[in-house]
Structure 1
Amino acid sequence: MLMRKRKVQVTRRVVGKKKTSQRRLFSALNLPEVNMRIVTVATLIIIPLLMILALHNWIKKPENLQIKSIEVQGDLKHLDKSTLQPIIEPFVKTNLYLLDKKSLEEEIEFNPWVFSASLTSMWPNKLVVKIHEQNPIAFWGNEGMVNEFGEVIDVNLPLQKNKLPTLYSPFDKGREMVESYVKIRKWMKDFPIDIVEFKEDMRGSWVLKLANGMKVEVGRQEHERRLHRFIVGYSNQLVGQVEKIDTVDLRYTNGFAVKWI
């Protein structure tokens, strides 16, 4: 019995041909075998870092992106912007990155008319200087003026001498004097004569001077009660004799004394 031999076609699949090629490539270049994904990720990290480092080194040179524009902002009624120029100029011979903002702000605030200063960087090369100007509300004896926070400031507004009151205490009590003055204004809001001076002596006794020249001795205590008594007594007894009065002394329990001219 004859048997026919069948030809069996065997298909061989080449496995790992690509990996073999990679191995040969790394071998030819004498490189260690690595995962390409790691190489890609490392490249994406390293290149940006190198760019940042290069930019950092470039911006650390003062001549690069040097400040070209300076804008001074603020509601300035008394401060001349030109007086700030010699203060700012030495600091801005650099770029915004290297600018010593804190030192410049402190230097600007040495100007007696500046209450506070803040700096804002506007990239690439503009600097905005915002000024909060002092707001003097009264003269402080003969030693300058006082602002709304009771801080004595070394400024002067001679043209306002007849418009703003004068406050003074021999002690460091600017804030307390301002607060007390506000209270007095409230207590005497309906009184027809303005207060031009409010002073405290070494004993802590209050003395007022009115716009007509009259002096009012208030004393060290019961301020509101005594001033109320004065207002009532003025409207009932003194209103027609104002020009003859030198001083009214309120330092009495149930009344006041009048010193006539």
Structure 2
Amino acid sequence: MSTELSTQVDMMEADKVSLPVGLSVFVVVLGLLVWGGVLSYQWLQDEQRLPVQNIVYSGQINMLDVEGLESLIRQQHAGSFFAIDVNDVHKLVEAQPWVYSASIRKRWPSSLYIHVVEQQAAARWNDDLLLNKYGESFDGKLANSALPVLFGPGGSEKTALTGYQHMRALLRSSGQKIQQLVLSERFAWTVQLQSGITLNLGRQEYIKRLQRFIDVYPLLKEEKKAINYVDLRYDTGLAVGWADAFPISQAETDNNTNN
């Protein structure tokens, strides 16, 4: 009986000794794991150990300054392959003027792949911007461009581009092309053709009025005189200003402004 009691006492004393030892070992192991994790994180973040060596572009790229963009990415997102946040790079790339959309992905061990869809300029807008084919303005630069020039109040970009596209399609049969289109604050249309003729279309039924010009243009050419402008802001008929005649009077312009 005394032997069994002595054994139980010895086991309890052993448990009391092993508990602190086990706890100490656990704390040491946990500390080693945390320390190893910190070292691993620092190693992964170290650009010198795992740098982004290649930035690979894809897509039809004509206007984007690829070298400038790559330099910007490396300046603003310096770090290792693991440290770079593709969402941040995506925002940076899509902020570039000639980028319509982009997709970014990493490829192990050291490459960043960037697919770019460029803006497609359809017209100049108010002398300082461009319009893409969706009627969205962007701050792109073009030299010696043959794009038409559109003017209009802020917020009318899509309206102006849609009007231009409809007029261009209608004029195609007559061989005339639009050089400049102005949409006034009152949303009245004025079109300057590449031939030098100015068309005053007013606000209402501008497509029908343009068709009226197309219908009568062969007769106007028979006059063998240069046309300065054609005022179509009438319910029926039109007024023609010849290049060697006096320009339209201000009073006549004011009378037709609301048409």
Q: Could you tell me the TM-score, scaled by structure 2's length? A: 0.73
- Which residue, 219, 226, 240 being the options, matches 2:222? 240
Indicate if the aligned counterparts of 1:169 and 1:199 stay in contact, CA closer than 8 A: yes
Q: Which whole-Å deviations, capped at 9, do the CAs of 1:125-167 have from their partners, x for residues lacking one?
A: 211112221211111121221111111111221211xx21111
Gap regions ≥5 residues in structure 1: 1-26, 32-50
Match of 2:79 among 69, 89, 94: 94
Q: Which runs of 5+ in 2 are unaligned?
A: 1-10, 16-32, 244-259
**Moved beyond 6 Å, runs of 4+:** 54-57
What SS does structure 2 have at the residue aligned with 1:146? strand
Distance 1:103 1:155, change over 3 A: same
Q: How does 1:23-102 map to 2 (within 5 A)?
A: 58=40, 61-63=44-46, 65-102=50-87
Name the structure 2 match of 1:195: 178
* Alpha-carbon distance between aligned partners in 1 of 2:68 and 2:93, rounded to the nearest angstrom: 10
Matched letter for residue 156 of structure 2: K
Tell me the residue number matched to 1:149: 134
1:111 and 2:116 aligned: no
Structure 2 equivalent of residue 222 of structure 1? 205
Task: Say which SS state the counterpart of residue 159 (structure 1) adopts.
Answer: coil
- State how far apart, in whole Å, the 2-side matches of 1:114 and 1:139 are: 17
1:193 is matched by which residue type in structure 2?
A: Q
Relative to structure 1, the CA distance from residue 231 to residue 119 in structure 2 (aligned partners, 3 Å threshold; closer, same or farther) is same
After TM superposition, give the deviation of residue 76 of structure 1 in Å.
1.4
Provide the residue aligned with 2:196 in structure 1: 213
1:250 aligns with 2:229: no
Secondary structure at the aligned position of 1:108 is classed as helix
Alignment length (residue pairs): 211
* Residues 225 and 242, structure 2, Cα contact 8 Å, conserved in 1: no
In the alignment, structure 1 residue 176 sits paired with structure 2 residue 154: no
- Aligned residues with identical type, % of pairs: 28
Query: Which residue number corresponds to residue 20 of structure 2?
Result: none
Letter matched to residue 244 of structure 1: A
Largest Rg, 1 or 2: 1
More helix by share: 2
1:128 aligns with 2:113: yes
Shift of 1:225: 1.2
What is the one-letter code of the residue matched to 2:58? Q
Question: How far did 1:67 drift?
Answer: 1.9
After superposition, the Cα gap between the structure-2 partners of 1:59 and 1:129, relative to the gap in structure 1 and judged at 3 Å, is farther
State the SS of the aligned residue for 1:198.
strand
TM-score, length of structure 1 as denominator length: 0.72
How far does the alpha carbon of each residue in 1:162-208 deviate from its partner, in whole angstroms, 9 at most, with x for none?
A: x2111111231111211121111222220212111111012110010
